[in-house]
Homo-oligomer: A and B are copies of this chain.
Amino acid sequence: MPYATPVKPTAGPLGEPIRGAATLADIARAAGVSASTVSKVLNAKGDVAAATRERVEAVLREYGYRRRGPRTAPLLDLVFHELQSAWSLEVIRGAEKVAQEEGLSLVLSQSEGRSTPGQSWLDGVLARRPTGVLLVLSKLEAAQCRQLTTRGIPFAVIDPDGELDVDVPTVGATNWQGGLTATRHLIQLGHRRIGVVAGPSRMLCSRARLDGYRAALETAGLRFDPKLVVAGEFHHDEGHRLGKELLRSEDRPTAVVAGNDLQALGVYEAARELGLRIPQDLSVVGFDDLPVARWVGPPLTTIRQPLAEMAAAALHMVIGLARGDERTRAATRIELATELVVRASTAPPSKA
Q: Show the binding face of A for B, using Cβ within 8 Å.
A: 67, 69-73, 75, 78, 83, 85-86, 88-89, 92-93, 96, 100, 105-110, 112, 123-125, 127-129, 236, 262, 265-266, 268-269, 272, 291-292, 294-297
Contacts and interface: CB of A to CB of B under 8 A. Distances in A.
A139 B108 CA distance: 22
B72 A127 contact: yes
Contacts of A106: 107-109
Contact of A272 (B96, B123, B297): B297
- State the number of copies, please: 2
11 contacts: A75-B128, A83-B89, A92-B92, A105-B108, A105-B109, A106-B108, A236-B294, A266-B295, A292-B292, A292-B295, A296-B296
A306 to B, nearest CB: 17
B107 A107 contact: yes
Contact of A128 (B73, B125, B266, B292): B73
B107 A75 contact: yes
A72 B128 contact: yes
A201 to B, nearest CB: 24
Contact of A108 (B92, B125, B128, B236): B92
Contacts of A295: 236, 262, 265-266, 268-269, 292, 296
A93 B89 contact: no
Contact of A72 (B72, B86, B88, B108): B72
A108 B106 CA distance: 5
A86 B262 CA distance: 13
A165 to B, nearest CB: 27
B93 A83 contact: yes
Nearest to A109: B105
Nearest to A82: B93
